[in-house]
Amino acid sequence: MKASAFLYPWDVNGDPEAASRMAGLGVPQVTLASAYHSTRALTPRHPRHRIVTASHAAVLYPVEEARWEGRSLRPYAAGEWAAGDAYGAAAAELAEAGLEVHTWVVLAHNSRMGAEHPSTSVVNAYGDRYPWAPCIAQPETRAYLVDLAAEAAVRPGARGTELESLGWYGLAHLHAHDKIGGVGLGDAGQYLMSLCFCAVCLDGYAEQGVDGGELAVAVREALDPVWRGAVASDGGWAGVEKLLGAEPAAATRVWRDGVARTLQEAAVSAVRTAAPAGFQVLLHADPVSYHCGANAGVDPLHILSVADGVVVPCTGGAGLLTPFAEAGREGAPVLAANFTVVSGMGGGPDTLAADAEHAVSLGATELRLYHAGLASDGDLEVVRSVVAGLG
């Protein structure tokens, strides 16, 4: 079974042992970030640093200026944490060590863009903006995301890409020092707090026969007993319908699902147009289309007709693979089970062998290991033995 490990360029650049260490892990592929959100990352083996602070979302290579000239929304260059062509330098070292390199592209997740261009952000029913979450219904934002996908995915020498956050982002987000857990929000509450009420989305709801202003009032009224702890906000889609009502809930989902689907189609098409033959395009995905976040909510049958496959979060259990396996399609789509292998981040390298076996039984065709740059030596040693046993 093919396995790939995630890496950042700063895990490799400046560390002469990094590429050979990765090759020694036994994985044939590395998924290397080329466009990434702000983060503070551990580098436990690097000879020059232990912590890298990426202060804003950025591309980790020089942009194609002709593509972005005159546009208000454009990628931000990285700071000293990934200066110049940090991606290109790391990719070259990894390839020289015999590893196949695929790009890792984070799209609709950009706090700096939201801070500098507030009108691009998701606006909730209370009027609060989520600067980390671009509204993917807005035409200018969509154009930016499609072009970013094509440029960041198709880097020199890359054999494929994994597109993360290619869909709606909402309330749930590890943003700065998060203090939003005081009231537990289940699936339904998260959805209602993630609905966007920008001008474009208001028009979108109107197209579905729903007045956006009245919908915002309905959302606030539905959430009022949740804030007071009088009503639970879980129960999946049935919980959303219970809080908001079946008809308005359905209208929001028709609008949002359509926006996400067409964006995914456009982005994958743009990548294919820019890429050489045989270039693999995968999406980080959740099989529940109304879910928000890095693993974009999708319709399994639809997305497997658009992309070459999906990368599915499996650390908490591999059940999300099942809807994709059941959807299937001709051409053997990639169903990559993504496991966190960093003990300190809640991962389970010690159970990886059993977890991988279970994932295979549910339809997984590949593994993803998150994240080789963040893991301790002990975690990597366990991973190495598991990968060797995969054959």
Instruction: Give the separation between CA 387 and CA 391, rounded to whole angstroms.
Output: 7
Amino acid at 265: E
Residue of 371, 316, 361 whose CA lies nearest to 335 = 361
Q: How far, in Å, CA of 97 to CA of 78, rounded?
A: 26
Q: Is 0.95 surpassed by the pTM of this model? A: yes
Q: Which residues contact 209 (CB under 8 A, 6 or more apart)?
A: 251
CB 226 within 8 A of CB 243: yes
- Domains, the chain, in order of start with CATH, read 2-119+133-179+260-390 (3.20.20.80)
Max CA separation in the chain (angstroms): 60
From first to last of the 391 residues of the chain, give the pLDDT tens digit: 899 999 999 999 999 999 999 999 999 999 999 999 999 999 999 999 999 999 999 999 999 999 999 999 999 999 999 999 999 999 999 999 999 999 999 999 999 999 999 999 999 999 999 999 999 999 999 999 999 999 999 999 999 999 999 999 999 876 666 777 788 899 999 999 999 999 999 999 999 999 999 999 999 999 999 999 999 899 999 999 999 999 999 999 999 999 999 999 999 999 999 999 999 999 999 999 999 999 999 999 999 999 999 999 999 999 999 999 999 767 789 999 999 999 999 999 999 999 999 999 999 999 999 999 999 999 999 999 999 998 6
Residue type at 22 in one-letter notation: M
Q: Which residue has the tokens 């959807």?
A: 327
DSSP strands (E only) in the chain: 2-7, 29-36, 39-42, 51-54, 58-59, 100-106, 121-123, 129-134, 160-164, 280-286, 296-297, 309-313, 334-340, 366-370
Crossing angle for the helix pair 199-207 and 246-274, nearest 10 degrees? 120
Residue 50 makes CB contacts below 8 A (sequence gap 6+) with 42, 43, 44
